[in-house]
Structure 1
Amino acid sequence: MVAPRELGEGPQPDLWSAATRTTGPAKAPRPHYHGHRDRLRDRAAATLDALPDYELLELHLFRAIPRGDVKPLAKALIARFGSLAAVLAASPAELKTVAGVGEAVARDLKLLHQTSLRVGREAVGRRTVITSWSQLLAYVKLALAHEPREQFRVLFLDKKNQLIADELMNRGTVDHAPVYPREVVRRALELSSSAVILVHNHPSGDPTPSAADIQMTREVVDAGRPLRVAVHDHLVVGRDGVASFRALGLF
């Protein structure tokens, strides 16, 4: 005859296993961002105009980062560079200084920037510059307002004042880009361009023309006059706006 066991003797039942077999394992709490992507997509489908910049950036980040919460990254990018436009204008190396930005994200953001530039250039190129002046100002601001170094660009126009080419003539330092007036005129003759618009940026953000800017512009005007290459304007681009030499009465 087998004697009954006292409590505590021999193997004991696995109470936890028994409980989980009855009730199932405890469920992990849902992440706070659960369903956020679907909600944001629904709002975007209703109206993109109402979305703040960081949410537009989130929607684009979904492409390169297919899972997880990208809202903190979108906000970090805008905080680091100051605006959505500045995020898109940043170089891949600069973008990668933000935690969470890898090769795929940097490439996607630069793709968006380049697409925006081409759309802006196309809008300017389809009509005469005079009748698309607001598009021209928007284009040069998008292209140069957030560049960290000075760039000197020239817009070459035909006899109808339509855009033939937008070319980078020189890239300089944070406060200077060398300009060679004869090179500007030589390139205009190569392209059969009868007029040019000079464009450069001030990385400081203030588009006010400097004394050096005014002197350089006069030299280009003088170099082009004998060869019938006119200078229609000189635009100085900064984060605070675009200054027009012609509007300021500087030549």
Structure 2
Amino acid sequence: MSRPFSVEDTAPQPDLWQARSATPPRPHYAGHRERLRERAMAGGLPALPDYEVLELLLFRSVPRGDVKPLAKQLLARFGSLGAVLGATAEDMRTVAGVGEAVALDLKLLHEAGLRTAREQISRRPVISSWAALLAYVKTALAHEAREQFRVLFLDKKNQLIADEIMNRGTVDHAPVYPREVVRRALELSASAVILVHNHPSGDPTPSSADVDMTRQIVDAARPLRISIHDHLVVGRDGVASFKALGLM
């Protein structure tokens, strides 16, 4: 028996093929990368906020998708663009979405900046390029999460022989051994040194322990005619000079 006729038989039927092949809606961030690149190429880099500069960097590590949330998360986690680049790869990877590729690319940029700053002091007397020296130590240490003690070894012309990390410590202490500083200066035939360490708290004001340690190194170096030109303490808030403060 045939089924009874219904008005539904005359209703238009949906085109299933057309429904399945319909273009999905574009994501809200579609075209954002192109627009941001165009603004940057048109000379707008200096006007970009930090999160957009970070986005441009992340485009190379994350080829597809919206990286604006990741850029903002990194800035929220570390506080500034400089702090993001200065963070360790391990700390970067604590942020969701940061893998090895992102961490490596950001650290590579920081290393390039550090080497560029070092070039400014490597082929000229350090004493005569003091502004370049301060820029270099800030790039190297201002955003370090743990205290680090470095020594810049200089020759008779006050040109840089080596910049070496003598010790790494905790968030507020890096043990320093005056004999090790002097021994290394003798090995490098250095005539003078500049001591450098950072305060992860951000405040570069020297502590009483910093002053005592500096005096011990000066006393150990004096009999061997090794000059201690200065001791620089680096923080996010600036660089403190023992010489300028009258502490040595």
* Common fold: TM-score over 0.5: yes
Amino acid of the residue matched to residue 238 of structure 1? Answer: G
Who is 1:231 aligned against?
228
Identity %: 72
Name the SS of the counterpart of 1:141 in structure 2: helix
Amino acid of the residue matched to residue 35 of structure 2? Answer: R
Which of structures 1 and 2 has the bigger CA Rg? 1
Amino acid of the residue matched to residue 44 of structure 1? Answer: A
CA distance in 1, matches of 2:60, 2:23: 30
Amino acid of the residue matched to residue 94 of structure 1? Answer: D
Name the SS of the counterpart of 1:250 in structure 2: coil
CA distance in 1, matches of 2:16, 2:232: 78
Aligned pairs, how many? Answer: 247
Who is 1:118 aligned against?
115
CA-to-aligned-CA distance 1:181-231 (integer Å, 9 cap, x gap):
111111111111111000001111111001110111111111111111100
Matches within 5 A, 1:99-248: 99-248=96-245
TM-score (norm 1): 0.91
Amino acid of the residue matched to residue 179 of structure 1? Answer: V
CA distance in 1, matches of 2:180, 2:49: 44
Residues 33 and 18 of structure 1, relative CA distance in 2, 3 Å threshold = closer
Residues 19 and 156 of structure 1, relative CA distance in 2, 3 Å threshold = closer
Amino acid of the residue matched to residue 41 of structure 1? Answer: R
Name the SS of the counterpart of 2:47 in structure 1: coil
CA-to-aligned-CA distance 1:99-118 (integer Å, 9 cap, x gap):
11111111111111111111
For structure 1, the 5+ residue unaligned runs are none
- Check if 1:44 corresponds to 2:40: yes
CA distance in 2, matches of 1:236, 1:210: 10
CA distance in 2, matches of 1:108, 1:224: 41
Amino acid of the residue matched to residue 89 of structure 1? Answer: G
Residues 45 and 10 of structure 1, relative CA distance in 2, 3 Å threshold = closer
Amino acid of the residue matched to residue 42 of structure 2? Answer: A
TM-score (norm 2): 0.92
CA-to-aligned-CA distance 1:44-84 (integer Å, 9 cap, x gap):
11222121211111111111100111111111100110001
CA distance in 1, matches of 2:214, 2:168: 17
CA distance in 2, matches of 1:30, 1:207: 50
Residues 208 and 7 of structure 1, relative CA distance in 2, 3 Å threshold = same
CA distance in 2, matches of 1:121, 1:143: 9
Who is 1:29 aligned against?
25
For structure 2, the 5+ residue unaligned runs are none
CA distance in 1, matches of 2:68, 2:138: 27
CA distance in 1, matches of 2:104, 2:240: 32
Name whichever of 152-161 and 117-126 sits farther off: 117-126
Name the SS of the counterpart of 1:49 in structure 2: helix
- 1:138 shift after superposition: 1.3
CA distance in 2, matches of 1:19, 1:55: 41
